[in-house]
Structure 1
Amino acid sequence: MSFINAGIVHGPGTVAGLAAFYGGLAQLTAGILEWRSGNTFGYTAFFTYGAFWEWYFISVVLSSMGIITLTPAAVSLTLIAFGIFTLIFWIYTFRLNWALWVVFLTLAITFFLLGAGLTVAGGYMGIITALSAWYTAFAIVYQEVFNKPAPGLTRAPIRATA
């Protein structure tokens, strides 16, 4: 989606399926698994973003069929609302690790840029967000597979003092 927003590639057809299954269903499933493991942060984040992508998919499909009309103002407000949610969750990452801190910061900026109608800038920021999210995922798997700390996952950006 970010490559389309940045104007690097054209045609949203590929995005719809990825939004429904990778962005939506996979994240909803991850959210449920995080809930079962007792991780409130992971549950809330994954489930919320999964729901966002399902909203996007269903809205695009229904809009293309002429069943609903997506107004630019409604889409902008939705993106800004998710930017606010993400900004709040970014604050929580101050207690987690650098990698998640970067992901949530860049994602919040992406939502705000897109909500403001700065689609190309939002697309490029979205690419940065995706790269940082992939790094975070790969670092977590690396840490588990090799049983040693991965760069970016070893300390929180700001430590609370008593």
Structure 2
Amino acid sequence: MENNMQKVKVVVADPSAIGLFGLAMVTLVASSQKLGWTSGTSLVIPWAIFLGACAQLYASVLDSKHNNTFGTTAFGGYGFFWLGVAATWLIQAGVFGDALKAAADPKQLGVAFLGYFIFTFFMTIGAMETHKVLFAIFVLIDFLFIGLTLTSFGIAHDFSHGLAAWSELAIALLSFYGSAAAVLNTHFGKQVLPVGKPFGIFK
């Protein structure tokens, strides 16, 4: 008796456009608060959950169907990051009670941001073989986490806070460009917005 196996290929769209859009939106709104253009985090939380988290996690799932380990890990990692950030803001706002708010140690955030800097650093190396716009976004995310880490540990506060704020705004603007390129280049079947070729160092 012969066992016949059939492989079915499921075709899904490139999720980088929606993933980068989610990143662009949440960093734009969050950077406005860091730069003092807006105040508080209450109305940043919905964007952190739905755009920062849900949009990127959705992109992560679709990238896994492309067998794209890099995209799955990047979008998934940062999607879960924004869920953590949203939960942190809720704790700081006292939503889960005054006792939990009072017990919050900002240095623990610094440790978490340091962990995400390590993650982003090796993902930046991987981004060198995607395209130059994405590589630049990852470099900016490196600077963002350096700034957030130093700020959380109370080191050179004004400098580190400014570094995080301006890096986050630059991430937003470049991510909008990357998302637009992913949509328009695919939609028109030609290069409308250039993103730069991979560096080709590791391949």
- In the alignment, the residues of structure 2 paired with residue 113 and residue 150 of structure 1 have an alpha-carbon distance, to the nearest angstrom, of 34
1:103-124 deviation per Cα after TM superposition (whole angstroms, max 9, x unaligned)? 0000111111111112232111
Does 2:39 correspond to 1:10? Answer: yes
Q: Could you tell which deviates more after superposition, 9-18 or 57-66?
A: 57-66
Cα displacement (A) at 1:43: 0.5
Match of 1:19 in 2: 48
Secondary structure of 2:75's partner? helix
Q: Could you tell which deviates more after superposition, 19-28 or 143-152?
A: 143-152
Does 2:72 correspond to 1:43? Answer: yes
Cα displacement (A) at 1:21: 1.0
Off by >6 Å, runs of 4+ in structure 1:
none
Match of 2:83 in 1: 54
- In the alignment, the residues of structure 2 paired with residue 32 and residue 119 of structure 1 have an alpha-carbon distance, to the nearest angstrom, of 33
Secondary structure of 1:8's partner? coil
Cα displacement (A) at 1:78: 1.1
- In the alignment, the residues of structure 2 paired with residue 99 and residue 10 of structure 1 have an alpha-carbon distance, to the nearest angstrom, of 30
The percent of aligned pairs where both chains have the same amino acid is 25
Cα displacement (A) at 1:154: 4.3
- In the alignment, the residues of structure 2 paired with residue 54 and residue 123 of structure 1 have an alpha-carbon distance, to the nearest angstrom, of 19
- In the alignment, the residues of structure 2 paired with residue 151 and residue 62 of structure 1 have an alpha-carbon distance, to the nearest angstrom, of 41
Secondary structure of 2:52's partner? helix
- In the alignment, the residues of structure 2 paired with residue 89 and residue 34 of structure 1 have an alpha-carbon distance, to the nearest angstrom, of 15
Q: TM-score, normalization: structure 1?
A: 0.91
CA contact (8 A) 1:140 1:150 kept: no
Of 131, 147, 153, 2:189 maps to 147
The residue type paired with residue 117 of structure 2 is G
Higher helix share goes to which structure? 1
Q: TM-score, normalization: structure 2?
A: 0.74
- In the alignment, the residues of structure 2 paired with residue 72 and residue 114 of structure 1 have an alpha-carbon distance, to the nearest angstrom, of 11
CA contact (8 A) 1:98 1:155 kept: yes
Instruction: Give the 5 Å matches for 1:13-162.
Output: 13-63=42-92, 64-65=94-95, 66=97, 68=100, 69-117=103-151, 118-156=160-198, 158-160=199-201
Which is higher, the Rg of structure 1 or of structure 2?
2
Point out where structure 2 has 5 or more consecutive residues left out of the alignment.
Answer: 1-29, 152-159
Cα displacement (A) at 1:62: 3.1
- In the alignment, the residues of structure 1 paired with residue 179 and residue 36 of structure 2 have an alpha-carbon distance, to the nearest angstrom, of 26
1:42-87 deviation per Cα after TM superposition (whole angstroms, max 9, x unaligned)? 1000111010011111222234223534321011111121111111
Secondary structure of 1:116's partner? helix
Q: Could you tell which deviates more after superposition, 62-71 or 103-112?
A: 62-71
Point out where structure 1 has 5 or more consecutive residues left out of the alignment.
Answer: none
- In the alignment, the residues of structure 2 paired with residue 34 and residue 57 of structure 1 have an alpha-carbon distance, to the nearest angstrom, of 24
Aligned length: 161
- In the alignment, the residues of structure 1 paired with residue 177 and residue 61 of structure 2 have an alpha-carbon distance, to the nearest angstrom, of 23
